[in-house]
Amino acid sequence: MKQNTLLQIAKDFESPVYVYDSQTITNQYKRLTSAFNKVKNVKINYAVKALSNISILKLMRSLGAGLDTVSIQEVQLGLAAGFKAEDIIFTPNGVSLLEIETVAKLGCQINIDNLSILEQFGTKHPKIPVCIRINPHVMAGGNTNISVGHIDSKFGISIHQIPHILRIVENTNMTINGIHMHTGSDILDIDVFLYASEILFETAKNFKNLEFIDFGSGFKVPYKTGDIETNIEEFGDKLSARFNTFCKNYGKALTLAFEPGKFLVSEAGQFLAKVNVVKQTTSTVFAQVDSGFNHLIRPMLYGSQHEIENISNPNGRERFYSVVGYICETDTFANNRRIAEIRENDILAFKNAGAYCYSMASNYNSRYRPAEVLWHNGEAHLIRKRETFDDILRNQIEIDLKPKKVKV
């Protein structure tokens, strides 16, 4: 998006504000589907938790995506956005049997990731086919916060427990219609992912009634210059060939499913914040914006590096800044970052703010969550209002604290 457009949006909708470009989302979706165009049946289920605004979900629906959900509320959001229940897969971790049963009753595809629930669900509802989430114990990426396939992970059923899965399936007479893995959020190395896929294929051979194999996500997008990006085209070629061979041997054209979040929306988003104060200290220059980790927590939570541009002074002389927020807590967005000279009231644009940014925002310090704007067909559409003081007070109950009258 053009810097002038972003500046105009910050003016019209005020700051802080999230801006998403629908064209970028569309392009990423098309890149992914065309990388797998040699497979007959491909299903892209967008991971709602990355960015769950209903207008974004509607955009995904218009592109032909299904949804990957992790809570019943995300399922309800998907239904509200017009998705059919059968286009929603429910992939929770550690939720109650009741929540899973409720979602199953709505008609969504259930994905079970532990033996206890598998046995209980299969015993009570042997007629409802379920997918199982496997942990292939493959470490994809180096950061243990976002690698969920390794040995200590709480996600999935270990491949070493397949004999137990088979026993439960046989005893309950339930149907397994899908096999799933989601090894984490960083495919640094295509070969690692293909290796994990082989484990999934091996597992799949044990089940005779499959309709799909779900390879989860882990597509990497660049956050800063020099970052590795998943070569989706090469990956598509390799996995497609392998998948087609598997289907031939299996005797059925299964559906190849993915559930990307970050890949579809990360680069489409920018977060615009205004500089309140430029503060020189003995060791650095702080640029303090009208936001904090209450609005964008990834740098503090994961050490993520979001590029920051001074769109009010793009040609200014570059200097080193520590960009921080206004929260009464250390809330650093960037340390020692080279940015075009920052003046008070300048607008800074934080890149890669589409995924896991707004959806992790909170009211900490009793601040309002920001507005969200979708740039679509050359126009800015407000898709979520900035909160107001009513939102802060909503659900709070003021009780009467008068002292109790004591009888004498």
Ligand X SMILES: *Cc1c(COP(=O)(O)O)cnc(C)c1O
Footprint (CB under 6 A) of ligand X, residues 30-49: 47, 49
Contact with ligand X (CB under 6 A): which of 21, 74, 119, 259?
259
Q: Does 384 bind ligand X (CB under 6 A)?
A: no
Q: Does 108 bind ligand X (CB under 6 A)?
A: no
Q: Does 22 bind ligand X (CB under 6 A)?
A: no
Contact with ligand X (CB under 6 A): which of 28, 55, 61, 68?
68
CB of 71 to ligand X, least distance (A): 11
CB of 341 to ligand X, least distance (A): 35
Q: Does 217 bind ligand X (CB under 6 A)?
A: yes
Could you give the count of Cα atoms lying within 13 Å of 384 in the half-sphere of its Cβ? 20
Contact with ligand X (CB under 6 A): which of 43, 61, 262, 274?
262
Identity of the residue, 42 or 287, whose beta carbon is nearer to ligand X in the bound complex? 42
Angle at 174 between CA 171 and CA 175, to 5 degrees: 135
CB of 352 to ligand X, least distance (A): 12
Distance CA 369, CA 188 (A): 33
With CB under 6 A as the contact rule, which of the stretches 136-144, 164-172, 257-265, 372-380 interacts with ligand X?
A: 257-265
Identity of the residue, 13 or 219, whose beta carbon is nearer to ligand X in the bound complex? 219
Identity of the residue, 260 or 370, whose beta carbon is nearer to ligand X in the bound complex? 260
Query: Which residues form the catalytic set?
Result: 328
Of the candidates 351, 391, 346, which has an alpha carbon nearest to the alpha carbon of residue 371?
391
Of the candidates 101, 55, 51, 103, which has an alpha carbon nearest to the alpha carbon of residue 76?
103
CA distances from 393 to 17, 39, 197, 390, 402 (A): 22, 52, 49, 5, 21
Helical packing angle, 72-80 and 97-106, nearest 10°: 20
Distance CA 112, CA 79 (A): 21
Contact with ligand X (CB under 6 A): which of 260, 325, 354, 370?
260
Of the candidates 136, 146, 121, 139, which has an alpha carbon nearest to the alpha carbon of residue 304?
146
CB of 216 to ligand X, least distance (A): 5
Of the candidates 168, 154, 254, which has an alpha carbon nearest to the alpha carbon of residue 211?
254
Identity of the residue, 49 or 150, whose beta carbon is nearer to ligand X in the bound complex? 49
Q: Considering only CA atoms, give the Rg of the chain.
A: 24
Is the four-CA dihedral 309, 311, 313, 315 of positive or negative sign?
positive
Distance CA 112, CA 93 (A): 8
CA distances from 21 to 217, 264, 369, 374 (A): 22, 11, 20, 6
Identity of the residue, 109 or 288, whose beta carbon is nearer to ligand X in the bound complex? 109
Q: Does 230 bind ligand X (CB under 6 A)?
A: no
Identity of the residue, 271 or 356, whose beta carbon is nearer to ligand X in the bound complex? 356
Contact with ligand X (CB under 6 A): which of 122, 261, 354, 370?
261
Q: Does 298 bind ligand X (CB under 6 A)?
A: no
Footprint (CB under 6 A) of ligand X, residues 75-104: 91
Q: Which pair of structure tokens corresponds to residue 171?
A: 């005893």
CB of 264 to ligand X, least distance (A): 8
With CB under 6 A as the contact rule, which of the stretches 213-221, 225-233, 245-253, 385-393 interacts with ligand X?
A: 213-221
Is residue 207 classed as helix, strand or coil in its secondary structure? Answer: coil
CA distances from 310 to 289, 333, 345 (A): 12, 14, 11
Is residue 130 classed as helix, strand or coil in its secondary structure? Answer: strand
Footprint (CB under 6 A) of ligand X, residues 171-200: 182, 185
- Site pattern 345..364 for ligand X (x: CB under 6 A): ----------x---------
Footprint (CB under 6 A) of ligand X, residues 129-168: none
Helical packing angle, 54-63 and 22-35, nearest 10°: 40
Q: Which pair of structure tokens corresponds to residue 109?
A: 């595809």
Q: Does 52 bind ligand X (CB under 6 A)?
A: no
Number of residues in contact with ligand X under rule CB under 6 A: 18
Of the candidates 65, 74, 80, 126, which has an alpha carbon nearest to the alpha carbon of residue 95?
74
User: Interface with ligand X by CB under 6 A: which residues?
Assistant: 47, 49-50, 68, 70, 91, 182, 185, 216-219, 259-263, 355
